[in-house]
Amino acid sequence: MGISGESGKSQSDDLDEIIRSATRLDRDAFGQVYREFAPRIHRFVAYRTNNRVLADDLTNQIFMQALRAIGRYQHRSVPEFTAWIFRIARNAIADHWRRNREHVSLDPDVHLKDHVDDGADFRRIENADMLAEVLVHLTPEQAEVIAMRFSQGMSHAQIAAILDKKEPAVRALQFRALTTLRSLLTREPAE
């Protein structure tokens, strides 16, 4: 079943109805909402944390929080619900990091540059660990945009709704994030 309204109006309407039932704490509906959204939330969390076990736990927490808050959620549209649940996910990740003080200090050898020379050697990201290493150099919002864009394929409009920003702001965040990453991954040619 599509959740972004791409796969037909009737399916989207079905999901609307399911979400409405879930807001009334209907068991089956809540289960269906979980099946629809948990994989996306899990992938987003895993992308941000690079820790699958932690992602399992946080995804669980996120839906527990959603369960407690859903009575106050007034459903209007699927994209709005998507934004709502992703906001819970963002908060859960931020809370986790606050609690665990997982601040990774920037590598002192990494010097960000405004401009990358044409002759510089551009390294590719080889695996998830390397991806996680470079992502910690982004601001939380930049990292969130990257995670939503590249792990979920979300549009700027969808990301803007979740971050409560305008689309141009999201584009700017994405550009700055990519520029930072490109700079990080560029080595000066050997003298």
Give me the least distance between CB of 48 and other proteins, in Å please: 10
The answer to whether the Cα torsion of 45, 93, 126, 150 is positive or negative is positive
Residue 115 is which amino acid?
A: H
| Extended beta strands in 72-166, E state | 121-122
Give me the least distance between CB of 187 and other proteins, in Å please: 13
Give me the least distance between CB of 39 and other proteins, in Å please: 5
Give me the least distance between CB of 106 and other proteins, in Å please: 19
Q: Within 13 Å of residue 139, how many CA atoms lie on the same side as its CB?
A: 9
What is the three-class DSSP state of 40?
A: helix
Give me the least distance between CB of 52 and other proteins, in Å please: 7
Tokens 């998830």 -> residue: 128
Strands 186-187 and 121-122 turn out to be: antiparallel
> Do residues 44 and 147 make contact, with C-beta atoms less than 8 angstroms apart?
yes
User: Residue 164 gets which letter from DSSP?
Assistant: T
Rounded Cα distance between 185 and 187, Å, is 7
Give me the least distance between CB of 16 and other proteins, in Å please: 12
Of the two residues 27 and 103, which places its CB atom closer to other proteins in the complex?
A: 27
Of the two residues 104 and 125, which places its CB atom closer to other proteins in the complex?
A: 125
Residue 87 has phi, psi (to 5 degrees) of: -65, -40
H or E, element range at 9: helix 9-23
Query: By the criterion CB under 8 A, which residues form the site for other proteins?
Result: 5, 21, 24-28, 30-31, 34-35, 38-39, 42-43, 46-47, 50, 52, 55-57, 59-61, 63-65, 67-69, 71-74, 76-77, 79-80, 84, 116, 118, 122, 124-125, 127-128, 130-131, 146, 149-151, 153, 155-157, 160-161, 166-167, 171, 174-175, 178, 181-182, 185-186
Of the two residues 104 and 157, which places its CB atom closer to other proteins in the complex?
A: 157
Of the two residues 118 and 191, which places its CB atom closer to other proteins in the complex?
A: 118
